[in-house]
Amino acid sequence: MIIVSRGFSLYFFLLWTFLLVLVVYFYTLLPENEVNGTPVFEERKFISSNFAVSKQLGNNIFELASILGISRVLHRTPVIFLQNSTYQYMLNRVIQSIPGLLEEFLVLNETVPDQVVWVDFNRKCCTFENPQKLKNWKLQENEIIYLTGLYYQSFKYFPNMRSELRGFLETSEKFPTLPKSDNKNYVTCVHIRRSDFFDVGFHVGSEKSIREVIGYIKTNVTLLQDQKVSFVIFGDDINFMRSLIQNQVNYYLSENSDSEDLAYAKKNCDAVFISSAHSTFGWWMGYLSKGNQVYYADIRGTNDSVYKTGDLKPDDYYLPHWIPVKVEADIFV
Ligand SMILES: *[C@@H]1O[C@H](CO)[C@@H](O)[C@H](O)[C@H]1NC(C)=O
Ligand SMILES: *[C@@H]1O[C@H](CO)[C@@H](O)[C@H](O)[C@H]1NC(C)=O
Ligand SMILES: *[C@@H]1O[C@H](CO)[C@@H](O)[C@H](O)[C@H]1NC(C)=O
Ligand SMILES: *[C@@H]1O[C@H](CO)[C@@H](O)[C@H](O)[C@H]1NC(C)=O
């Protein structure tokens, strides 16, 4: 017995030693592997960009998520220069909704320093430009790259980051007036955007087409046994939203803040319908939603001003598994 167990001890001793050597060996290899031959400067190099700070939350999140994604491609630390009070307002807005996202950034309370190198990148709001092109050797020498672009509205800037971005969201459980997604309730969230979209010629869903799409979604979603569909209407035009709900059973209205709406979507939206094709807030409700089942007004059938100029490429803007729904006879001003 004793001899046998000694034999085993020796065996395990050798095994552990071997494993330890292996771990140490791979550990020493790691830094080189990780950074592709630019190891020394990685942490001390930075990337920043213009930000459309006076725009609303959906735009803000797009820019920050994309710059974060780009910074990882380039192995640089993402930086925000708080250039004036509008930047501070933008930060406050984002912190309320998705605080974890800002924790990924270095925030400097100063104007853009002289030694940055300005680089033209992402000149169109909603088409993807591959950040790999910023990896050229000359550019990589610079300590701070400052991109001149704005908006960065393409999911391709932050591939495979959905669960991380969802994790950055503020979470909240208190939505007393709205339905909870569960085995009995399939929650479909309908996002309405109107007000300022009329002024800029963005597509706006009409009441008739929104009702049609709601009817279509009812037939298209896959329900559990005993599950019924409820609809929650979100948006910026309370009278219009009320008119959609009139006389309907299982319809609800959200009068919560933007950050609460995103927290609700993460927990409860089994499906999301983006009724105004280019609403970035609607986009984020869909992207961050519980069910990841997203319907959107197909911008290809509209006269949306951004789509018409070619600045929005649908394949870069909408995720491939999202379902476009044809909208006809829509309002266009
Ligand atoms: C801050 O700078 C941005 C551009 O970088 C500009 O759009 C905004 O109006 C400025 N805000 C103030 C208060 O000057
Ligand atoms: C940034 O600096 C300005 C003036 O120098 C100051 O008023 C403001 O509070 C600072 N902001 C932060 C977040 O520290
Ligand atoms: C829902 O619509 C999509 C896209 O048109 C289609 O592929 C899918 O089969 C539909 N599902 C159901 C249950 O009708
Ligand atoms: C787009 O504009 C054209 C020309 O003004 C018009 O004929 C068409 O009906 C419009 N389409 C939609 C979906 O509003």
What pLDDT, on the 0 to 100 scale, is given for residue 7?
A: 47
Residue closest via CA to ligand 4's atom 13 equals 302
Average pLDDT over residues 154-165: 98
Query: Which residue minimizes the CA distance to atom 14 of ligand 3?
Result: 220
For the chain, the domains span 42-168, 185-325
pLDDT per position as a tens digit, 208-236: 999 999 999 999 999 999 999 999 999 99
Query: Which ligand has the nearest atom to the CA of 303?
Result: 4
Order of strands across the sheet that contains 144-147: 106-108, 77-81, 46-49, 144-147, 117-119
**32 band by pLDDT with thresholds 50, 70 and 90:** very low
Averaged pLDDT for residues 17-34:
55
- Ligand 3 site-directed mutation target among 319, 323, 325, most atoms within 8 Å of CB: 323
> Alpha-carbon dihedral of residues 63, 68, 74, 75, nearest 10 degrees?
160
Sheet of 185-192: strands edge to edge?
A: 251-253, 228-235, 185-192, 271-274, 293-297, 323-325
- Across the range 152-162, mean pLDDT stands at 98
What is the tens place of the pLDDT at every residue in 124-144? 999 999 999 999 878 888 999
Task: Name the token pair of 266.
Answer: 């993460």
Residue type, 299: I
Q: Is the CB of 222 under 6 A from ligand 3?
A: yes
State how far the Cα of 56 lies from the Cα of 290, in Å rounded to an integer. Answer: 23
Handedness of CA 286, 290, 293, 295 (dihedral sign): negative
Domain covering 42-168: architecture: 3-Layer(aba) Sandwich (3.40)
For residue 23, pLDDT beyond 90: no
- Residue with token string 């100029």: 309
CATH of 185-325 among 1.10.10, 3.20.80, 2.70.98, 3.40.50: 3.40.50
CATH topology of 42-168 equal to that of 185-325? yes
Q: 161 exposed, middle or buried (CB, 10 Å; 0-12, 13-18, 19+)?
A: middle
Determine the Cα–Cα distance for residues 326 and 328; give it in Å rounded to an integer.
7
Determine whether the shortest distance from the Cβ of 216 to ligand 3 is under 6 A. Answer: no
Nearest CA to ligand 2 atom 14: 109
285 has pLDDT over 90: yes
Ligand 4 center from residue 332 Cα (angstroms): 8
When pLDDT is cut at 50, 70 and 90, the band that residue 31 belongs to is very low
Please enumerate in sequence order all residues whose Cβ is within 8 A of that of 251, keeping only pairs 6 or more positions apart, or say none. Answer: 230, 231, 232, 233, 244, 245
pTM (2 decimals)? 0.86
For ligand 1, atom 2: residue with the closest CA: 84
3-state DSSP of the chain: CHHHHHHHHHHHHHHHHHHHHHHHHHHHHHHHHHHCCCCCCHHHCEEEECCCCCCCHHHHHHHHHHHHHHHHHHCCEEEEECCCHHHHHHHHHHHHHCHHHHHCCEEECCCCCCCCEEECCCCCCECCCCHHHHHCHHHHCCCEEEECCCCCCCHHHCCCCHHHHHHHCCCCCCCCCCCCCCCCEEEEEEEECCCCHHHHCCCECCHHHHHHHHHHHHHHCCCCCCCEEEEEEEECCHHHHHHHHCCCCCEEECCCCHHHHHHHHHHHCCEEEECCCCCHHHHHHHHHCCCCEEEEECHHHCCCHHHHCCCECHHHHCCCCCEEECCCCCECC
Rounded distance from Cα 84 to ligand 2 centre (Å): 9
| 3, pLDDT greater than 80 | no
| Cβ pair 191, 287 in contact under 8 A | no
> What residues does ligand 1 touch, defined as CB less than 6 Å away?
53-54, 83-86
- Name the residue with the closest Cα to ligand 3, atom 8: 220
